[in-house]
Amino acid sequence: MTARRDIEAITERIRQRSKAGRERYLGRIAEASNRTANRSVLSCGNLAHGFAVCSPTEKLALGADKVPNLGIITSYNDMLSAHQPFETFPALIKEAAKEVGGIAQVAGGVPAMCDGVTQGQPGMELSLFSRDVIAMAAAIGLSHNMFDAAVYLGVCDKIVPGLVIAALTFGHLPAVFVPAGPMTTGLPNDEKAKVRQLYAEGKAGRAELLEAESKSYHGPGTCTFYGTANSNQMLMEIMGLHTPGASFVNPGTPLRDALTREATKRALAITALGNAYTPVGRMIDERSFVNGVVGLHATGGSTNHTIHLIAMAAAAGITLTWQDISDLSEAVPLLARVYPNGLADVNHFHAAGGLGFLIRELLDEGILHEDVQTVWGEGLRPYAVEARLGEDGSVVREASPLQSGDEKVLAPFAKAFQPTGGLKVLAGNLGHAVIKTSAVKPERRVIEAPAKVFDSQQGLNEAFKAGTLTGDFIAVIRFQGPKANGMPELHKLTTVLGILQDRGQRVALVTDGRMSGASGKVPAAIHVTPEAVEEGPIARIHDGDIIRLDADAGTLEVLVPGPELALRRTADADLIGNEFGFGRELFSGFRQLVGRADHGASAFGIA
């Protein structure tokens, strides 16, 4: 009961804090709905351009506002495994729309970059900013004002948050998110990680490493570890933006296609032309975002969402803070162990009962808001199900199993892996930071050690190769924040620090950059804000300073007297090398406009 009261209190706190912004937002949605609820506001010339390639029957129907028109926003490309399956979705969606008397058009495409391809490369410095570009690209597609609802085809790291920001910006339109699903299980993630460590130590060659990576990432679909991409899918379902049970069904299967058809028909059923009008901006509220944060904690999800959820909420006029996320962590137990928080992958999680089981457990304990609106209708209880393929090829749903199929992967509430969630916010004289605790062993959650300071992840990796990273230490990697260089993920540090930790050294990381959602076993205080380039305290740390990282107490301190720390000059870094090449010169405006990590690291004025 205490946890339930805490959830309610935090939700009410968010509601009161957001009241003025939320009212302004809902007012804009109401105005947009009145002005753009049908295509009659378009001139004949506007319409002629908008339906030039449609059939005569479709032109007549669209011109008279007789049928709903569904806009498709797609992140399809055929280089990335997670988004390649979307190639066939538009045709499937158009066919399904036609079956219920609707029309569907591809409204626009958005870029979908892969952090897996760009890790440690210059392109990674565009990754976080791609979220805002995606929101802008989707807005351009929807700006034609031809649509009564939209479906969003997206899966991975920045793509889904960007699409959510766009959907909420066009909050007068109903929105259904349509996933592609995870790839089938390949080489286990822990075995892949072992080969990476052997390669870093010079005990395995490039050919062996490439073979392991290729066996792990081997076909269409999302990577199978529980990083940002699969955390996205969990969020879309627990926030009611997917149809029930849609998240973790593999691509290229009859059930996947049936779910896509069903999502299409549902999107058409909730337009203003029918009796179940469900504009997404009214549907998603404070309770929806609290449910999303609860799901993130209960599953040990990606730290990236401590940034994305704040930016997404801001797009709906809601002010969510790191403190809210941290306080919710204290009320939510960890119920899932999926790599890097365990050995299982998302396919194992799904087979053990998946989101349906998890949602049911959390609802029964009052840890989720049940009284929300979703694309499926009223209440979250209909999501406590498993989706299956019926004999006629349609989707049928059964109540989620009462018992987990594997309690080592998915625990019932009474047998939670830990009493608190997988993420925690740290505070101290270095500012604020985020740490993912779900994959860190309890005995490693408190580290006090001297600092080794670097201005890039390359600097630390070079020190590792030189053999100078001896003894216990806390690596400080600074000038990696959003204003400095776009806040790239520093995933390549995971292997090096993991090797040192396995050798018996007590190590940790403190950085104003990001870490991949696949990272975890080394304690890492990330997203440190204020960042170094804004003269944050992280820029005053010297080699040898003692840092204390206490994930249990939620503190991050450099043990230097306050007056001495304040008098130190902040370090400077030559960032000219981060300003050009691989398109980085096109993003100079983003680096100037971007807000702090704890404000969503957005280049928009909404966060």
Please indicate, yes or no, whether residues 428 and 506 belong to a single structural domain of this protein: yes
Please indicate, yes or no, whether residues 330 and 475 belong to a single structural domain of this protein: no
Q: Which helix (H) or strand (E) holds 298?
A: helix 286-299
Worst-scoring range by mean pLDDT, 166-175, 202-211, 259-268, 274-283?
202-211
10 lies in some domain: yes
Please indicate, yes or no, whether residues 358 and 482 belong to a single structural domain of this protein: no
Please indicate, yes or no, whether residues 391 and 427 belong to a single structural domain of this protein: no
Q: Which helix (H) or strand (E) holds 192?
A: helix 189-200
Decide if pLDDT at 336 tops 70: yes
Please indicate, yes or no, whether residues 448 and 350 belong to a single structural domain of this protein: no
pLDDT digit string, tens, across residues 53-101: 888 888 888 887 778 999 999 999 999 999 999 999 999 999 999 999 9
User: pLDDT confidence of 284, banded at 50, 70, 90?
Assistant: very high
299 lies in some domain: yes
Please indicate, yes or no, whether residues 389 and 330 belong to a single structural domain of this protein: yes
Please indicate, yes or no, whether residues 385 and 435 belong to a single structural domain of this protein: no
Q: Can you tell me the mean pLDDT for 468-476?
A: 97
408 lies in some domain: no
pLDDT digit string, tens, across residues 20-63: 999 999 999 999 887 655 677 888 888 888 888 888 888 888 88
Please indicate, yes or no, whether residues 383 and 467 belong to a single structural domain of this protein: no
Strand partners, 557: 548
Please indicate, yes or no, whether residues 373 and 450 belong to a single structural domain of this protein: no
Q: Which of 347, 364, 399 is the last residue in one of the domains?
A: 399
207 lies in some domain: no
Collapsing DSSP states into helix, strand and coil, what is residue 355?
A: helix
> How many Å apart are CA 184 and CA 346, to the nearest integer?
9
Please indicate, yes or no, whether residues 274 and 370 belong to a single structural domain of this protein: yes
Q: Can you tell me the mean pLDDT for 487-513?
A: 92
348 lies in some domain: yes
Q: Which CATH number belongs to the domain containing residue 429 in this structure?
A: 3.50.30.80
The pLDDT of residue 208 is 86
Query: Which candidate, 460, 525, 470, 526, places its Cα nearest to that of 495?
Result: 460
The pLDDT of residue 113 is 92
Please indicate, yes or no, whether residues 535 and 491 belong to a single structural domain of this protein: yes
Q: Can you tell me the mean pLDDT for 140-153?
A: 95
User: pLDDT confidence of 464, banded at 50, 70, 90?
Assistant: very high
The pLDDT of residue 170 is 97
Percent of the chain's residues with pLDDT above 90 = 77
Decide if pLDDT at 130 tops 60: yes
Domain, as residue range, for 10: 5-32+68-184+219-399
416 lies in some domain: no
Contact 416, 297 (CB under 8 A): no
Tokens at 480, concatenated: 């990696």
User: pLDDT confidence of 491, banded at 50, 70, 90?
Assistant: confident
Please indicate, yes or no, whether residues 225 and 330 belong to a single structural domain of this protein: yes
User: pLDDT confidence of 177, banded at 50, 70, 90?
Assistant: very high
Q: Can you tell me the mean pLDDT for 133-147?
A: 95
Residue 156 assigned as binding residue: yes
The pLDDT of residue 519 is 65
The pLDDT of residue 1 is 61
Query: Which candidate, 268, 248, 275, places its Cα nearest to that of 259?
Result: 248
Residue 223 assigned as binding residue: yes
496 lies in some domain: yes
> Which residues, 6+ apart, have CB-to-CB distance to 526 below 8 Å?
303, 433, 434, 435, 509, 511, 513, 514, 515
> Which residues, 6+ apart, have CB-to-CB distance to 493 below 8 Å?
457, 460, 461, 475, 477, 509, 515
What residue type is 123 in one-letter code?
G
418 lies in some domain: no
The pLDDT of residue 412 is 97
> Which residues, 6+ apart, have CB-to-CB distance to 364 below 8 Å?
413
The pLDDT of residue 607 is 43
The pLDDT of residue 103 is 95
Tokens at 108, concatenated: 């626009």
Mean pLDDT of the chain: 93
The pLDDT of residue 214 is 79
Number of domains in the chain: 2
Strand partners, 38: none
The pLDDT of residue 253 is 96
The pLDDT of residue 202 is 84
Question: Is the whole model's pTM more than 0.85, yes or no?
Answer: yes
pLDDT digit string, tens, across residues 381-401: 999 999 999 999 999 999 999
